[in-house]
Chain A
Amino acid sequence: MVEFILSHVEQGVMTLTLNRPERLNSFNDVMHQQLADCLKQAERDETIRCLLITGAGRGFCAGQDLNDRNVDPTGPAPDLGMSVETFYNPLVRRLAKLPKPVIAAVNGVAAGAGATLALGCDMVIAARSASFVMAFSKLGLVPDCGGTWLLPRVAGRARAMGLALLGDKLSAEQAQSWGMIWQVVDDEQLATTAQQMALHIASQPTFGLGLIKQAMHAAETNTLDAQLDLERDYQRLAGRSDDYREGVSAFMAKRTPHFTGK
């Protein structure tokens, strides 16, 4: 079987490499299926404490492979909602729900669903030469893979509108200066920087990090009152974790904590 997703687990980090370099790692159905299988493993395996997503070759991900959609200009209209519902929506939901941090190392162009997928990860590190292209509007489509929810949240409404309506290329540096991504590094340093970040996160209190992530997501829809209640609940849970005890006792004993993620 062709491996469209390379999966590698080491020291608590699951590295997923989108691997169709000749097609700029654009998605087809088989690749979606393989990614879903990897996510299943990430969800079930407690030893995996951080997910790192990157692309093989010169691109990160060019979104949906248009060849694969087989649009016949004379045929009946395709049901694009089907592929969104079958593949992209579950993917976005699962990454958002995954109670462990997800890092995107954007090594090159991220276009369409590839861009919105990357921006939707918990932390985004981009190579200086990378770019984000909201290409949807140029085809008459709507940003999917969480795009319309995500863009105004990471870029603000005015910039989100501009990005989505114009569909122009956004450089990694511009994305960083707008606060849309965490970090830009020189191309040759991307892999190392992202790997180090992932290894660090995989050694941290995973249960607590998962709660932080869920709380941030809940905050997008909650009122202040509801969010305060949620913070109380999550703090109650965090306070019962092994890692909290370890963190406090390490602090008291002035030693380095050893977190198990539980």
Chain B
Amino acid sequence: MSELIITRHGCVLQLTLNRPAARNALNNALLAQIADALEAAAVDSNISVCVIYGNAHCFAAGADLNEMAEKDLPATLNDIRPQLWARINAFTKPLIAAVNGFALGAGCELALLCDVVIAGENARFGLPEITLGIMPGAGGTQRLIRCVGKSLASKMILTGESITAQHAQAVGLVSDVFPAMLTLEYALKQAAVMARHSPLALQAAKQALRQSQEVSLQAGLAQERQLFTLLSATDDRREGIEAFLQKRTPDFKGR
């Protein structure tokens, strides 16, 4: 069985991390497979949204420590890993993490990279790198603080302690918490809701959301307006507004 299972549900692509023996530890090979799958999905006009899932008990419990232990300073300097993360981060369509159980270290960083995180009641989020004498190396220190604020992010990263799904929801790391056995099903449902909308609008909105983390408010507003203007030239925009006025379901073409 492959370590990354790829399933299609209409316009929704599901990527299932499948290294149960290693609690879905994200080694380079698995990250590369995720990047490959997302890059293929980015150019596939039949796919609108992607959901990343682990299993009922675990999302991903970290990076592969054996792989990391072998690398000294020069090897770490030239590690291919940052490029793999950059490829995943470059995915232009909505990306949902459906998290049951542990999302620790790289697993937490993968969830943080996603646009939406949906969690099971049994989910736990944490960056325990500090307990190993290292620190988060794939966005953990940057993305966590942007969604939960300074104090909690610093506490989590400096103590290595994890938080529950309920806590993660209260602080904005997670959008919804469901019974663990329904997490994937409900994540796919939310993906399907997104996938009903115009693919171009989804991509533009995602890009605007992403840029809000990169630039000042004024620059962000200017970029938002540009993207908004861009959509005015699409067939889907006409279709969306017409369908609304005619009280029917729109039929988006991605143009």
Binding site for B on A (CB under 8 A): 233-234, 236-237
Contacts and interface: CB of A to CB of B under 8 A. Distances in A.
Interface stretch (B7-15, B133-141, B177-185): B177-185
Interface in B45-74: none
A41 B181 CA distance: 23
Given A233-B178, A237-B179, A237-B182, 5 more contacts: A233-B179, A233-B182, A234-B179, A236-B182, A237-B181
Interface of B: 178-179, 181-182
Nearest to A240: B181
8 contacts: A233-B178, A233-B179, A233-B182, A234-B179, A236-B182, A237-B179, A237-B181, A237-B182
A233 B179 CA distance: 7
Nearest first, the 5 closest Cβ-Cβ pairs linking A and B are A233-B179, A233-B182, A237-B181, A237-B179, A233-B178
Nearest to B186: A233
Contacts of A234: 179
Contacts of A237: 179, 181-182
B186 to A, nearest CB: 8
Nearest to B185: A236
A234 B180 CA distance: 11
A236 B181 CA distance: 10
- Most A CB contacts (10 A, CB to CB) among B178, B179, B181 go to B179
**Most interface-central of A233, A234, A237 (chain B CB within 10 A):** A233
A237 B179 CA distance: 9
B57 to A, nearest CB: 14
Nearest to A232: B182
Contacts of B182: 233, 236-237
Nearest to B179: A233
Contacts of A233: 178-179, 182
A237 B178 CA distance: 12
A210 to B, nearest CB: 11
Nearest to B182: A233
A13 to B, nearest CB: 26
A241 to B, nearest CB: 11
B86 to A, nearest CB: 37
Contacts of B178: 233
B97 to A, nearest CB: 19
A48 B178 CA distance: 26
A234 B121 CA distance: 12
Contacts of B179: 233-234, 237
Nearest to A236: B182
Contacts of A236: 182
Contacts of B181: 237
A233 B182 CA distance: 8
A237 B185 CA distance: 12
A224 to B, nearest CB: 18
Nearest to B121: A214
B133 to A, nearest CB: 27
A233 B186 CA distance: 10
